Amino acid sequence: MSMTETQTPEVEAPLAPLYRLEGVTRTYQQKGRVVKALAGVDLEIAAGEFVTIQGPTGGGKSTLLQLLGALDRPSAGAVHLGEIDVATASNAELGRIRAREIGFVFQGFNLIPTLTAAENVDMALEPLGLSKTERGERVAEALAHVGLADRTDHKPGELSGGQQQRVAIARAIVKRPRVLLADEPTGNLDESMRDEILALLQGLNAEGLTLIVVTHDSAVARRATRRLRLDKGTVRDITR
C-alpha cells in the first residue's frame, strides 16, 4: 500500500433491537365506547437494556407489557420480538415464545401455596420437554441464583414477601429467557425488601438479561439505564 492510500477500518454493524414497535395501537370496547389504550407507539429496546415504564393508572402500561410479553396482539401496527411479529405470528408460535423466551414477574408473586419453592419453579419448565435430571439441576441453579438454596422445600406461607418474590424471579429465569418483564415487582414489599429485589434484578441485568419493569415507584425507576413514560397511550423517553 502506498503512503497516499488509506485503509478503511472495519465497522461492526449495529445489533438489531430485541424489540421493535412500529405504529402500535391497541383499542378496546368498554361500555359501548372505544378506548384507545395505545396510540401509535414507536419504540425500540435493545438486548441487555434495563428499561422502566412509568405513568398514571389507565395510561396503557399494562397493555404495553402484555404486547411485549406476547400475551396480546395490537389492533394495528407491528410488535417485533427479534424476527417474530407478535401481530401476525400463530398462536402456537406465541405460546413457544412465552414458554422459552420471556420471563414474567408480577406484584402478587402468583405462587401456588401448596407447592414448595422448588416445585413452583419447576412448573415453568414443564413445556420445555427437559429430562427430570436437567429440570432438577436448573431449579437448584435458579434458586441458588436468587439466594434461596436453603429454602427449596419451603412453601410460600413459610417464606417472607421478599423470599416469595425471589422464588417468582427464580421461576422466571429458570427457563433462561431473553427478556424479563416485571409488573410492579416491588409493589407488595417494604423499602428494605424492595432494595434487595432491585439489587437482584440489576444483577441479572448485568449478566446480560434484558429487563423491562412497569413501576409507580420513582426509586425503582431511577435504577434503570432508560426510563419511559406512558400517558394517554403515547410513550416518551424521560431518561436524564
27: Cβ contacts below 8 Å, ≥ 6 apart: 34, 35, 36, 37, 75
Decide if 224 is inside a domain. yes
Decide if 17 is inside a domain. no
Phi/psi of residue 193, each to 5°? -70, -35
Decide if 188 is inside a domain. yes
Residue 145's domain spans which residues? Answer: 48-72+90-237
CATH number at residue 177: 3.40.50.300
pLDDT tens for the 240 residues of the chain, in order: 444 444 544 544 455 689 999 999 999 888 878 889 999 999 999 999 999 999 988 888 989 999 999 999 999 999 999 999 999 999 999 999 999 999 999 988 999 999 999 999 999 999 999 999 999 999 999 999 999 999 999 999 999 999 999 999 999 999 999 999 999 999 888 888 899 999 999 999 999 999 999 998 888 999 999 999 999 899 999 987
Inter-residue contact 81 to 24 (CB < 8 Å): no
- Overall number of domains in the chain: 1
The predicted-structure confidence for 31-43, as pLDDT tens digits, reads as follows 878 889 999 999 9
Amino acid at 118: A
* Cα distance between residue 212 and residue 172, in whole Å: 13
The predicted-structure confidence for 106-163, as pLDDT tens digits, reads as follows 988 999 999 999 999 999 999 999 999 999 999 999 999 999 999 999 999 999 999 9
Query: What percent of the residues of the chain are helix, what percent strand, and what percent coil, each to the nearest 5?
Result: 35, 25, 40
**What is the reported pTM?**
0.89
State the pairing for strand pair 179-183/210-214: parallel
Decide if 222 is inside a domain. yes
* Cα distance between residue 201 and residue 186, in whole Å: 11
Decide if 181 is inside a domain. yes
191: Cβ contacts below 8 Å, ≥ 6 apart: none
**Beta partners for residue 87, in sequence order:** none
Decide if 136 is inside a domain. yes
* Enclosing H/E stretch for 220: helix 218-221
